[in-house]
Amino acid sequence: MGESMRSTESQPENPWPHDMQLSIDEPYSLTYLLFVRQAWELGIDGVPELDPVPSIGASARPDSVGLDAAYTRWRAEWGRAWTQYEPIDRTTRGPDDETLRLLELPDDQLADAVSRMPSPFWDEGIDRPSYEEWRRSLRDDHSRPIQEHPERVCLDALIPAWRSGLLTVLQLPYRGYFAERINPTTLVVSRTTRHNPTLYRKALGTIGPRQ
């Protein structure tokens, strides 16, 4: 999705603060791994179920990839994909060698490297057209007038959240209500939450982790 919302100039009739800028994203790296989890039937605890549930097409875990290996690799790449939004605590999380290598990159190279994830490990056994069709079904903001975008509808709740430090909203295709302020600048919500004004206002009031 990857869009940035802002007002380019101050207008008395425009309630959007002229200096407020917010990024709305649905990262490819995360949605792809969610598709892999569904397609390969990986029992990953702690990550919500999907809505809409994708049609996996011809996707299936290859015989050459053991279930334990797939589970371990998925967990590692899922954690690594979040590094562009939340710095890793080296003292408690024990990053693997690949994560340590990425952390040595300048910020712009790190973002570029993470955006190319997941790795080619997942190429075999994934029906790419089915994934792309599912991903397209999640991106419906451009089909509606800007005044109907969730951020415009919930501007009364968005402005206080922005003033508290919010800069990025990550939308993921989780089932039901989901909202987590993973750090002062980043809020993760389900697609259901973002497109329901009552739920989105509640999510925008979520307080982030104590710094």
Helix (H) or strand (E) holding 39: helix 28-39
Cβ contacts of 60 within 8 Å, gap of 6 or more:
39, 40, 125
The answer to whether the predicted template modeling score (pTM) of the entire model surpasses 0.85 is no
| b/e sequence 135-164, b meaning 16+ C-beta within 10 Å | beebeebeeeeeeebbbebbbebbbebbee
pLDDT digits (tens, 9 = 90+) for 148-168: 899 999 999 999 999 999 999
Position 17 confidence tier, pLDDT thresholds 50, 70, 90? confident
Q: What is residue 155's predicted lDDT score, i.e. its pLDDT?
A: 95
pLDDT digits (tens, 9 = 90+) for 25-42: 999 999 999 999 999 999
Write phi, then psi, for 129 (nearest 5 degrees). -60, -35
| CA-based nearest residue to 161, from 179, 138, 137, 177 | 179
The CATH 3.30.2010 domain(s) of the chain lie at 1-26+139-211
Structure tokens at 38: 């569904």
pLDDT digits (tens, 9 = 90+) for 64-94: 999 999 999 999 999 999 988 864 454 444 5
Cβ pair 37, 47 in contact under 8 A: yes
Q: What is residue 122's predicted lDDT score, i.e. its pLDDT?
A: 83
Cβ pair 160, 149 in contact under 8 A: no
What amino acid is encoded at 175 in this protein? R
pLDDT digits (tens, 9 = 90+) for 114-127: 445 566 778 889 99
CATH topology of domain 1-26+139-211: Zincin-like (3.30.2010)
CA distance 8 to 27: 25
**Paired sense of beta strands 3-6 and 168-172, if any:** unpaired
